[in-house]
Amino acid sequence: MDFYPQMIKNLPQIDLDLPGIKGWLFESNDRQVVFFEIEPIGKMPDHSHCTQWGFVLDGNMKLTIDGKTSLLKKGDKYYIPEGTIHSAEFLTKVFVMDMFDSPDRYRAKK
């Protein structure tokens, strides 16, 4: 059984060329929400972008924000201010919902 219901799976997938990561895009004129499904792929490198708020729907991950690392699990939320260096390590299969304060953080697959 899929974790996400069909109403989410019917959203456009994000155009992302990273093995083990899928995302479904819900967007407005000035923000995006992405429903991610991430395999236990290990650590993503440090990076920064627009403001991001997220919620762990299932799974376990480590998130480092501005040098501080936290272990996140189902029910935990996080906030990453614009331009803040951060990285993540996916310890299990993880499902997260992220809101980005930008209309063009991701593009839909064509």
Query: What are the tens digits of pLDDT across the range 11-68?
Result: 999 999 899 999 999 999 999 999 999 999 999 999 999 999 999 999 999 999 999 9
The answer to whether position 31 is within a domain reads yes
- Whether the pLDDT of residue 98 is over 80: the answer is yes
- Whether the pLDDT of residue 81 is over 70: the answer is yes
User: Number of folded domains in the chain?
Assistant: 1
Domain that holds residue 34: 6-100
Contacts (Cβ under 8 Å, ≥6 apart) of 20: 38, 39, 40, 41
Amino acid in the structure at residue 58: D
* Contact yes or no for 41/100 (Cβ under 8 A): no
The answer to whether position 76 is within a domain reads yes
The answer to whether position 94 is within a domain reads yes
Residue 105 region by backbone torsions, left for phi larger than 0, else alpha for psi between -120 and 50, else beta: alpha
According to DSSP, the β-strands at 21-27 and 32-38 are: antiparallel
The answer to whether position 110 is within a domain reads no
Per-residue pLDDT at 32? 98
The answer to whether position 53 is within a domain reads yes
The answer to whether position 90 is within a domain reads yes
CATH number for the domain harbouring residue 78: 2.60.120.10
Per-residue pLDDT at 37? 98
